[in-house]
Structure 1
Amino acid sequence: MITLKNVVLRRGTKVVLDDASVVLQPGEKIGLVGRNGAGKSSLFALLTERLHADRGDVEVPKHWRMAEVAQHMPETEASATDFVLEGDTRLMAARELLAKAEAEGDGHGIAEGHVAMSDAGAFDARARAQALLMGLGFKGTQVDAPVNSFSGGWRMRLQLARALMCPADLMLLDEPTNHLDLDALVWLEAWLQRYEGTLLIISHDREFLDAITRVTLHLDEAKLTRYGGNYTAFEAMRAERMEQHQAAFEKQQDRIAHLQKFIDRFKAKATKAKQAQSRVKALERMERLAPVLASADFAFEFREPVSLPNPMLSLRDVACGYGETTIVRDINRTVLAGQRIGILGANGQGKSTLVKTVARMQKALAGTLTEGKGLAIGYFAQQEMDVLRPDEGPLAHMSRLAKEVSPQAREQELRDFLGQFRFTGDMVNQAVGSLSGGEKARLVLAMLVWQRPNLLLLDEPTNHLDLQTREALSMALNEFEGTVMLVSHDRALLREVCDEFWLVAKGQVSPFDGDLDDYQRWLLETAREAARAIKEASRSAAEAQKAQSSASPANQREDRKASAQARAKLNEQTRPLRKEIESIDKQLAKLSQERESLEAELATGALAPAAIAESGRRLKAVGDEIDELEMRWLELSEQIEAITTAAGL
């Protein structure tokens, strides 16, 4: 078991843990919760011995294998599967033992090495690694692709798969869902429920924590408190404990007031001096209870829109994508005033592409997008830096915005407004590039509120928000009078805000008739159907090959003719797909060249601050476009592969 006893941990002048004591039993699944900056990641570093306690004892069983998600981006030409396999420390040790024995010609050692390999599950290790990759959203064509070919978000998924591959006794997961879509999140949730070791997880996803954890550790004001139960149970128990503590404090205050009143009244009287002195000593011995000083909850609200056009916008035969590549086509939807629309779909299917097109960040490739008169769009980008300037502070952002969307505001008015979003003092001039993810997200929310939009387009707004800020966002969205279109893997937010869903899949946008539970069941059934289709196609191909091998020469000539015709038909079917792949290859080459040029410019350090900001924004936009095109390339390749398999060729 894990034991912390009277632990004190400091980071600089800040006390992260103050006299913390807790015991965690083997096999427990624990959620570690607390506000951003409370010190949750520092506690992980303490358990892995990257940090050491200033006082007290930390005990983790020495023989335990430990796994956590590395935060650095890997740079290697190794395949995705091989990279994930390296996370199995037991298998890697067995391989090293066998290789050493073989190099030394040690027969006994070779035998031991083979036994160790068998015990480590070497025979199915590759299949297990690829199953992890597929569960986290990688396609069949990606599992052997080099790590360097993936973008940042996908590399973090590789790091997560590598951690899951380890046969760990203790697994530490710090916000594992940030780079996942809803499909992969549901899969990870099921995997962690089956995990038999001790799990300590930091997450701001309420439903994720409720589904997995049975113990909650709350880190607040340097105090670590253990609660039995998941996050919802923790909230109820903490509220009850705070009420009890406050009641005891108030009762003690009444007792103190009563004693003090007696002392003040009788301390000068000789006949009562002894009793008064006795009460003075009682006051001195009393262990004073502190009042419940709950941190102020973060709350905000969207301003009333100037107008509410109805319909907000109309999409007719709209196609979205990049360059010559169409990601989503034939969109025919109408968005009305007051609608709450959740947009569902796997990564790479085009959710963000659709939102960016509606947000005027990129033009539609075809069709007509008609906006209602007075439409005012507020856009929260998945990557906050799409709408922020890294070299400027929050106050500079608000000053520029105030000039653009409303009459000039006084600096003090803007400072007061930023204070509502926890930007106070010198923080209003701190460069955005140095802010945390949660602080950047709050700044984007502040800018949205100032604009008084009537249509909110939110693309993964909760990625860096803590639970309190997520709840504040949910409340603000529910009170917002305009229309909301929301892309999120936070199921609690989707359930609380959205009353209808659109599904982006297979290049189409269609209404999804059901709730999130229906969507999760649909995902499971879709995966089963795909597996059955592949299995059936493989069986048919094997039977056709067997029949061909036993046919007569005349029949074989006919079969060859039929096969040639089938190949011609296949080429005709796949020609548009292959043509689109060729177009994507050309665009990727061009974009890669532009990215290298931009990186080279930034590396010189000779650019002016404004030029650096502009180049940084363009570099981010190019990276996003490359990610989308790569996903489309993979989708097209899979379609060609599926058509070929189905044809038995």
Structure 2
Amino acid sequence: MIREHIEELIFIGSFLVIKRGNNMIKVDNLSYSFPQKDLFNNISFTLEDGEHCAFIGTNGSGKSTLIDIIMDPEKYMFDGKLEIDPNCRIGYVSQFSQLDKTKETTVFQYIGEEFIKLQNDITSICAEMETSTDIDSLLEKYQQALDAFDAINGDDFENNINKNLNLANLIKCKDLMISELSGGEFKLIQVIKEMLNSPDLMIMDEPDVFLDFENLNSLKNLINSHKGTMLIITHSRYLLNHCFNKILHLENMELQEFDGSYIDYNFSLLQTKIELQELAIADNEELKRNEKLIKKLRVIATENSESAKGKSLNARVKIQERLEKRRIKAPFVNIKQPNISLFTNNELEETIVLKVNDYSVAFDDMVLENVNFEIKSTDKVALIGSNGTGKTTLLREIFENNHDSIEINEQVEVAYLSQLQGKTLNESNTILEEFLDSGFKNYEEIRAYISNYGFEEEAINQKIGSLSGGEKNMLQLAKVSASKANLLLLDEPTSHLDTYSQMALEKAIENYNGAILMISHDFYTIVNCMDFVLIIEDKTVRKMSIRKFRKMIYASHFDRDYLEIEQKKKLVETKIELALKNTDFTLAKALSQELNELVKLL
């Protein structure tokens, strides 16, 4: 029943207001803490009808927790206000949804489950009305079912399912059983199912994780076609650059709201960084001058007991305190990038470290036949292909090294990062226990080491199972690095990582002196730091240059000039960073104008 009044629900330590209004969601001065750390401090934002909002921030900053609070506010004790339109129906897609291989239903039946149920209910009520004497109660039930069917646009649901399956390039899967889908296809089917139930607010938590590029492009199309309000946690640079008209950025317990595209937001942050660094240098110079004066006044005050001298000193100390308070705080521009370092103690001269000869494997419907390739001691190689083509199986068999077709150089030490994080991390361990088990000697050594990967000291006794997906991948990278191996097998290492960590990983890969075989669907990481790709097509693997791979992707998914513009943009951004490093603010400002012109073209 529609409520026409404000209903207030007060909990211990939290305050939730449910009301009608123009805003879909309004958060006002919300604060929330875990026992290990504070997550939010008086954050505020609104989400209005029709906005497509990207929710970004570094790993572990609390994005998923804030989503959980919105989804079920009564479960959490928070300070501040959360206002949600009482008629707001929320659709939700989790980052951890798993394909149920035993589910005996077709894709069409799975997507249309709610529609088919309501259809059957309406048919059943109509049949009951033919024989029942209690027509009034049945009419009420009939009207309720009809209203629910209309609310999700039930009359046209078959056409809408077909339309969205076509949009996602999955119409071929319509009559397949759910159990026959790849993980990436199932993720898109979940998105379509939630969208077609016509929610007022669609919430998705990293829906892009593990999607191949074709499926990622399909997800982009689904997002851009959706008419309702969306709140999506994502670190995908592809989605961020091509979707969204609003940004929420959560960082260092604070939240910033930006109306506009991600590309515009990044440009705004860069301009702010130039301004803040210029102000910070001026403040630092003033602080230094003031500090010298205070020291001089202290000496004079010590030697001279006149009260006027003491007053001068106190006044100057107060000025210094005001300057300290005025120091620029920039939680959204001065974000500490993790210091990922990949290195080996056993660097090899150029030689073949991995050879695969006539490798074949078959299980379920997935087959690889006559796979042949080799990797040299410093090659950085991306293994790519559609979801479900056997990439992970091949990488795991190389790691296990018990197949006759796989030959690893005897001088090679191998380290492995799994997309199934529980395979390489004991989630019941604390971070401290995990690294003690990995050969580290004591608390201090571990604390110093993991700080490079973005973990503060208070996190060292945190259970691994309680970490975010991105934090778990950072721990895997820390363990891989600590192994000092000279062949790294990385299965989706950028999944769940925030954009700052992705770029730090790219830098580490470029500087690594060993060999890497990496499964990835991240176009940016592949073109930024790989030497070539091995692409799985038609049940086998073929080698492709980065230039050809880039051309193939851009021909299918980007405008002709996009690559050239993006490369120029990256070059200008690098020049700006160098100018800031040299405190040449005149050059930085001139370059930012040049960057602005490129941003407009994108």
Fold match (TM-score > 0.5): yes
Q: Which deviates the most, 120-129 or 425-434?
A: 425-434
- Residue 29 of structure 2 is matched in structure 1 by 7
2:486 matches 1:454: yes
CA contact (8 A) 1:174 1:202 kept: yes
Partner of 1:38: 61
Please state whether the residue corresponding to 1:357 is helix, strand or coil.
Answer: helix
Structure 1: how far apart are the matches of 2:414 and 2:117?
53
Contact 1:130 1:143 in 2 (8 A): no
Structure 2 contact 108–174 (Cα < 8 Å) conserved: no
Cα deviation for residue 505 of structure 1 reads: 2.2
Q: In the aligned structure 2, how far is the partner of 1:284 from the partner of 1:394?
A: 39
Q: In structure 1, what residue type is equivalent to 2:486? A: N
Runs of 5+ in structure 2 lacking a partner?
1-22, 559-602
Q: Deviations over 1:516-547 (max 9, x none)?
A: 451475699xxxxxxxxxxxxxxxxxxxxxxx
Distance 1:301 1:319 in 2: 35
What is the letter of the counterpart of residue 68 of structure 1? Y
Question: 1:284: how far off?
Answer: 8.9
The question of whether the paired residues in 2 share the 8 Å contact of 1:2 and 1:23 is answered with yes
- Matching of residue 385 in structure 1 with residue 422 in structure 2: yes
**CA distance change for structure 1 residues 468 and 124 in 2, over 3 Å: closer, same or farther?**
same
Give deviations 1:122-145, integer Å, cap 9, x for gaps. 455245436656876878567453
Deviations 1:560-610 (A, max 9, x none): xxxxxxxxxxxxxxxxxxxxxxxxxxxxxxxxxxxxxxxxxxxxxxxxxxx
Counterpart code for 1:292: K
1:221 maps to a residue whose letter is: N
Post-superposition shift, 1:118? 7.3
Task: Choose 1 or 2 for highest CA Rg.
Answer: 1
How far residue 159 of structure 1 moved from its aligned partner, in angstroms, is 3.5
Give percent identity, aligned residues only: 21
Describe the SS at the equivalent of 1:493. helix
Give the letter aligned to residue 334 of structure 1: E
2 CA distance for matches of 1:280 and 1:476? 45
> 1:87-109 deviations in whole A, cap 9, x for unaligned?
66xx8767756754554456988
Find 2:496's aligned residue among 454, 457, 464. 464
1:185–1:5 distance in 2 versus 1, CA, 3 Å? closer
Report what 1:234 is aligned to: 265
Secondary structure of the equivalent of 1:68? strand
Letter in 1 for 2:242: A
Q: How far apart, CA to CA, are the structure 2 residues paired with 1:409 and 1:274?
A: 54
Return the alpha-carbon distance in structure 1 between the equivalents of residues 319 and 441 of structure 2: 58
C-alpha distance in 2 between matches for 1:313 and 1:363: 13
Partners of 1:74 and 1:504 in 2: CA distance: 23
* 1:29 and 2:28 matched: no
Q: In the aligned structure 1, how far is the partner of 2:196 from the partner of 2:355?
A: 47
State the number of aligned residues: 512
Partner residue of 1:313?
354
Report the equivalent of 1:497.
Answer: 529
Shift of 1:307: 1.4
Question: Within the alignment, does 1:187 sit opposite 2:218 as a pair?
Answer: yes
Q: Could you tell me how far 1:170 is from its partner in structure 2?
A: 2.3
What displacement does 1:35 show?
1.7
Residues 375-416 of structure 1, C-alpha deviation per residue, up to 9 Å, x if partnerless?
3332222212223444555555555655xxxxx967865664
Other-structure match for 2:579: none
Residue of structure 2 in register with 1:475 after alignment: 507
RMSD: 4.5
Alignment-derived partner of residue 594 in structure 1: none
Q: Against the structure 1 CA distance between its residues 161 and 289, is the aligned structure 2 distance closer, same or farther, given a 3 Å change threshold?
A: same
How far the C-alpha of 1:187 sits from its partner, in A, is: 0.7
| Cα distance change, pair 376–82 in 1 and its aligned pair in 2 (3 A) | same
State the alpha-carbon separation in 1 of the partners of residues 247 and 51 from structure 2: 10
- Which residue type is aligned with residue 469 of structure 1? S
- In the other structure, the counterpart of 1:369 is 406
Structure 1: how far apart are the matches of 2:489 and 2:372? 18
Matched residues in 2 for 1:521 and 1:2: separation? 39
Question: Contact between 1:380 and 1:461, CA under 8 Å: does it hold in 2?
Answer: yes
Matches within 5 A, 1:169-184: 169-184=200-215
Matches of 2:400 and 2:188, distance apart in 1: 30
User: SS of the residue aligned with 1:348?
Assistant: coil
Question: In the superposition, relative to structure 1, how do residues 125 and 203 fare at CA in structure 2: closer, same or farther (>3 Å)?
Answer: same
Q: Distance in 1 between matches of 2:434 and 2:30?
A: 40
Deviates more, 1:503-512 or 1:435-444: 435-444
Q: Normalising to structure 2: TM-score of the pair? A: 0.70
**In 2: Cα distance, 1:374 partner to 1:401 partner:** 21
- Matched to 1:374, the amino acid is Q
Of residues 63, 66, 70, the one that matches 2:90 is 66
In proportion to residue count, which structure has more helix? 1
Distance across 2 between alignment mates of 1:94 and 1:283: 73
Q: Are the equivalent residues in 1 in contact too, given 2:30–2:82 (CA < 8 A)?
A: no
Contact persistence 2:162–2:171 (CA under 8 A): no
Counterpart residue type for residue 217 of structure 1: L
| 1:50 matched residue in structure 2 | 73
The residue that corresponds to 1:515 in the other structure is: 549
Q: Structure 1 residue 279: deviation in Å?
A: 8.3
CA distance in 2, matches of 1:176, 1:447: 27
